[in-house]
């Protein structure tokens, strides 16, 4: 029923295991120049339970940048066999180094994650991620092989070739980022195929924020079950938290990580079930352990037990990064609030873009929305009505009325990798 019995381990034993591994991690981390300094004076005897992690200092993305490239390595460079870098969505990239053992641990976590949402060794997986420094390429790849699936390293782009391989090799599992999935669904139809006739049954979607509404749209358009996959390079890559078949939040693998949710302003833990910033500590990394990493990702622990019997706590879908927040007319707005609203409307197509603009002295938001072809009619009045409705729906969600621009499908440029949802044009128009 589980890939690894640890997934259903009794909580008391699991927490004991975490405490042991945390002590080990501290010991190893101290061999790196960065943590030797950071953890100076810490008495390991003070760490008796996983909750004692709060006695340790945070590590931030800036720390990783400042220590670039080798400051966090706890072993000689010769012991490392792989390097990845975060995709640099929010600035200078950071480099993560892996020993062979770290890669094995990661592949196991990844295999476990895929098994958890129903992938089996008889499946055929096509990975549509780029195979570069981005962990979604090799990370998914080795996990898929570890599980025993036939694995096709298709790489990004070239939808025609993707479709051909899916059909030729009867692909049952797709790894695809949500923004590309929406686009791909359309391409499959345009190529003359009915998604119902495609061999696939599972889509592993993640790597970028997306809403429940976007998932529903992907499932409907592709005729597939889509499972949310969360990870970040600093914590290996994908395989940190994954949805099980119940699709009610992602199990975060607590034998490999200690997760905390804090108020980003105060650094204190939020109350159980409340949204805050996810903070993570690696428990099974020997080469480059990271302690209390501030992910900037906002989520919450989902209270209660999951029907699948796994005991590892679930996190809710990531509502965005703390850095994604826009402030307009004094109101805090996240791009995902806008997506949620748009994707719930049947007329809305696959893509959208939020532009921050300046009109006179005030800041405004312009939302460009692709409309499905069948609604993109010549009747001006119908279009204006739709435009108003979108603006009104958005206003009830974000409390300010944005300018809405209706666009034809595929007219908004699509990013190669992760979607770019917000462009700041203030002072540039």
* Site residues (vs ligand ADP, CB under 6 A): 86-90, 134-135, 206-209, 228-233, 295, 297, 318, 321
- Per partner kind, with CB cut-offs from 5 to 8 A, the member of Zn ion, ligand ADP, none near residue 244 is Zn ion
- Per partner kind, with CB cut-offs from 5 to 8 A, the member of Zn ion, ligand ADP, none near residue 308 is Zn ion
Angle (CA) 150-153-156 rounded to 5° is 140
117 binds Zn ion (CB under 5 A): no
Q: Token pair for residue 237?
A: 């890559």
- Per partner kind, with CB cut-offs from 5 to 8 A, the member of Zn ion, ligand ADP, none near residue 88 is ligand ADP
Q: Which is nearer to ligand ADP, 86 or 186 (CB)?
A: 86
What burial letters (b/e) apply to 327-355, b meaning 16+ CB within 10 Å?
Answer: ebeeeebbbbbbbbbbbbbebbbbbbbbb
Using DSSP bridges, classify how beta strands 293-299 and 301-302 pair: parallel, antiparallel or unpaired.
Answer: unpaired
Helix (H, G, I), strand (E, B) or coil at 14: helix
Q: Which is nearer to Zn ion, 17 or 306 (CB)?
A: 306
Nearest distance in Å: CB 112, Zn ion:
12
The DSSP output letter for 425 is -
Q: Which is nearer to Zn ion, 244 or 342 (CB)?
A: 244
Q: Which is nearer to ligand ADP, 240 or 333 (CB)?
A: 240
Site for Zn ion in 40-79 (CB under 5 A): none
- Per partner kind, with CB cut-offs from 5 to 8 A, the member of Zn ion, ligand ADP, none near residue 318 is ligand ADP
Interatomic CA distance for residues 107 and 342, integer angstroms: 36
Nearest distance in Å: CB 414, ligand ADP:
17
Nearest distance in Å: CB 215, Zn ion:
16
Q: Which is nearer to ligand ADP, 86 or 99 (CB)?
A: 86
- CA nearest 402: which of 351, 375, 366, 349? 366
- Contact of 295 with 323, CB cutoff 8 Å: no
Strands (E) located in 216-302: 225-232, 237-243, 250-252, 257-262, 276-282, 293-299, 301-302
- Per partner kind, with CB cut-offs from 5 to 8 A, the member of ligand ADP, Zn ion, none near residue 306 is Zn ion
13 Cβ contact partners less than 8 Å away, ≥ 6 residues apart? none
Interface mask toward Zn ion for 301-340; x: CB under 5 A: -----x-x-x------------------------------
Instruction: By CB under 5 A, name the binding residues for Zn ion.
Output: 244, 306, 308, 310
């Amino acid at each position: 029923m589980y890939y690894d019995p640890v997934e259903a381990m009794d909580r008391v034993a699991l927490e004991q295991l975490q405490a042991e591994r945390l002590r080990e991690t501290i010991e190893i981390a101290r061999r790196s120049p960065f943590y030797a300094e950071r953890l100076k004076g810490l008495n390991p005897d003070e760490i008796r339970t996983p909750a004692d992690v709060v006695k340790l200092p945070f590590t931030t993305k800036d720390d990783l940048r400042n220590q670039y490239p080798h400051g966090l390595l706890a072993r000689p460079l010769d012991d490392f066999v792989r390097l990845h870098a975060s995709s640099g969505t929010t600035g200078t990239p950071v480099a993560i180094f892996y020993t062979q053992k770290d890669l094995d641990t990661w592949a196991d976590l990844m295999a476990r994650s895929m098994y958890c949402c129903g992938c089996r060794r008889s499946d055929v997986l096509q990975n549509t991620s780029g195979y570069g420094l981005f962990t979604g390429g090799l990370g998914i790849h080795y996990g898929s092989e570890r599980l025993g699936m036939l694995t096709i390293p298709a790489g990004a782009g070239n939808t025609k070739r993707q479709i051909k391989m899916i059909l030729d090799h009867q692909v049952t599992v797709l790894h695809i980022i949500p923004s590309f999935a929406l686009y791909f669904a359309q391409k499959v139809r345009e190529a003359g195929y009915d998604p119902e006739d495609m061999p696939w049954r599972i889509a592993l979607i993640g790597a970028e924020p997306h809403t429940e509404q976007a998932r529903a749209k992907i499932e409907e358009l592709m005729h597939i079950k889509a499972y949310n996959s969360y990870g970040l390079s600093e914590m290996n890559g994908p395989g940190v938290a994954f949805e099980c078949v119940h699709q009610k939040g992602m199990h975060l693998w607590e034998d490999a990580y200690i997760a905390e949710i804090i108020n980003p302003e105060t650094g204190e833990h939020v109350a159980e079930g409340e949204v805050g910033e996810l903070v993570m500590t690696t428990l099974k990394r020997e080469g480059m352990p990271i302690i209390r990493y501030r992910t900037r990702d906002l989520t919450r622990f989902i209270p209660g037990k999951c029907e699948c019997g796994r005991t590892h706590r679930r996190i809710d879908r990531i509502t965005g990064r703390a850095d994604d927040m826009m402030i307009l007319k004094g109101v805090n707005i996240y791009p995902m609030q806008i997506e949620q609203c748009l994707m719930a409307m049947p007329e809305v197509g696959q893509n959208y873009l939020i532009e921050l603009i300046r009109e006179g002295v005030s800041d405004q938001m312009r939302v460009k929305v692709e409309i499905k072809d069948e609604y993109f009619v010549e009747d001006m009045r119908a279009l204006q009505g739709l435009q108003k409705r979108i603006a009104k729906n958005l206003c009830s969600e974000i409390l300010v009325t944005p300018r809405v621009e209706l666009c034809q499908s595929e007219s908004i440029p699509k990013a190669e990798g992760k979607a770019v949802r917000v462009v700041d044009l203030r002072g540039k128009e």
